[in-house]
């Protein structure tokens, strides 16, 4: 079951007939989002701004990751490496030279990095490119293998990046990490700007001829190859596109938390993203986005269960960690009742939403 199957209004009109209307609806959706963000910024506290930023970053990370794992069907476990790369590159490029000198006490930062000081936008693009380049290099080894082996190799590479970050004292400051990364006051707008662009690019990509080719590789790699698709380069395309977006999102993550160290980019980061894309529905971009929001905010809403409360006259003391128990139960329920995730392999579309809304009463 997926949402798409629970609310299935029957055949939808072909996409090309409603393209103009859908465009305006999307535009209105973006304006509504902007209004919401403005509301969060003005009315809610710094904590909610922080959470909203985090949700946006996770949205980008998860939907990018979904391009590789869900759409192309390549079970990669390397996104922590991409996020780490983006975070370090952005931080090193945007921190003031004096601040960097304060950080690197054991060993000075290598030369060009020690004096470079770039504006955030440029730094983010460079971070994206550097991460994409790293993915490109990794791809040559990674895509020699498939399936479980691919998972193992990418898991290994993710760990390698962390070890490198731990030991390249002169570049990453080793286990000490980087502190005093400039805090971005309007991070909300950067993050959600990136989120909108990323989601636009990714959904367009998934629907394009290239996206079809990626899905074909997921369905049957050999058949795709026999139909004239250069499987290796298409996997590379997905991998580097993902890396570019995750590198930028990693950069924004660093600007949000202002302190990074290698221990932040362990397998657990990958694991969180994996949960998100599985819950959203492997292969669905909008599903990944929806799940990213649900899981980041859901974790916060679930905090109520850890507070002391009175149940049927009994006063129950707050149980720390209860949140994770409930979270796990919810995940299990999701896997039992919605085995293909919230949206399965399908995408959210205005055509679908309007058809659901306009259908009155239960299905005959």
Binding positions for another protein, rule: CB under 8 A: 11, 201, 204-205, 208-210, 212-213, 215-216, 218-220, 222-231, 237, 345
Which of 157/199 has CB closer to another protein?
199
For the CB of residue 346, give the shortest distance to another protein in the complex, in Å. Answer: 10
For the CB of residue 127, give the shortest distance to another protein in the complex, in Å. Answer: 20
For the CB of residue 151, give the shortest distance to another protein in the complex, in Å. Answer: 21
Which of 19/42 has CB closer to another protein?
19
Residue 6 CB contacts under 8 Å (≥ 6 apart), including other chains = none
Q: Which of 238, 263, 250 is nearest to 131 (CA)?
A: 250
For the CB of residue 214, give the shortest distance to another protein in the complex, in Å. Answer: 10
Which of 89/338 has CB closer to another protein?
338
For the CB of residue 27, give the shortest distance to another protein in the complex, in Å. Answer: 16
Long-range pairs of 100-108 with CB within 8 A, sequence gap ≥ 24 = 102/180, 103/173, 103/176, 103/178, 103/179, 103/180, 104/170, 104/173, 105/176, 106/169, 106/173, 106/174, 106/176, 107/169, 107/170, 108/170
Which of 208/259 has CB closer to another protein?
208
Which of 216/249 has CB closer to another protein?
216
For the CB of residue 290, give the shortest distance to another protein in the complex, in Å. Answer: 20
Query: In this structure, are strands 314-316 and 309-311 parallel, antiparallel, or unpaired?
Result: antiparallel
Which conformational region is residue 313 in: left (phi greater than 0), alpha (psi within -120 to 50 degrees), or beta? left
Reported as half-sphere exposure (CB side, CA atoms, 13 A), residue 177 has a value of 16
C-alpha dist (Å) from residue 346 to 66, 80, 212, 282: 13, 26, 13, 9
- Tell whether the torsion through CA atoms of 308, 309, 314 and 316 is positive or negative: negative
Which of 218/323 has CB closer to another protein?
218
């Amino acid at each position: 079951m997926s949402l798409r199957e629970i609310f299935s209004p029957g055949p939808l009109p072909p996409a090309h007939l409603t393209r103009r209307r859908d465009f305006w609806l999307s535009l209105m959706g973006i304006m509504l989002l902007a209004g919401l963000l403005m509301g969060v910024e003005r009315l809610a506290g710094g904590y909610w701004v922080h959470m909203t930023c985090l949700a946006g970053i996770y949205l980008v990370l998860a939907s990018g990751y979904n391009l590789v794992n869900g759409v192309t069907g390549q079970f990669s476990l390397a996104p922590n490496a991409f996020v780490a790369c983006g975070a370090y590159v952005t931080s090193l490029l945007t921190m003031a030279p004096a601040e960097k000198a304060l950080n690197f006490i054991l060993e000075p930062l290598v030369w060009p990095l020690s004096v470079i000081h770039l504006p955030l936008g440029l730094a983010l693009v460079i971070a994206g490119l550097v991460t994409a380049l790293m993915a490109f290099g990794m791809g040559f080894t990674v895509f020699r293998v498939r399936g479980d082996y691919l998972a193992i190799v990418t898991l290994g590479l993710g760990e390698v990046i962390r070890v490198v970050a731990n030991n390249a004292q002169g570049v990453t400051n080793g286990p000490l990490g980087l502190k005093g990364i400039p805090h971005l006051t309007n991070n909300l707008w950067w993050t959600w700007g990136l989120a909108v662009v990323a989601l636009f690019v990714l959904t367009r990509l998934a629907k394009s001829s290239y996206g079809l080719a990626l899905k074909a590789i997921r369905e049957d790699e050999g058949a795709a190859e026999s139909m004239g698709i250069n499987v290796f380069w298409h996997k590379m395309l997905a991998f580097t596109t993902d890396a570019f977006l995750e590198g930028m999102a990693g950069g924004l993550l660093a600007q949000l938390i202002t302190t990074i160290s290698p221990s932040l980019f362990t397998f657990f980061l990958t694991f969180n993203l994996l949960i998100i894309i599985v819950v959203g529905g492997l292969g669905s971009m909008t599903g990944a986005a929806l799940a990213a929001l649900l899981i980041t905010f859901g974790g916060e809403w679930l905090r109520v269960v850890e507070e002391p409360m009175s149940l049927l006259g009994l006063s129950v003391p707050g149980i720390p960690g209860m949140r994770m128990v409930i979270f796990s139960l919810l995940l299990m329920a999701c896997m039992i009742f919605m085995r293909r995730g919230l949206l399965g392999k399908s995408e959210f579309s205005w055509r679908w939403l309007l058809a659901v809304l306009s259908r009155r009463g239960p299905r005959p």
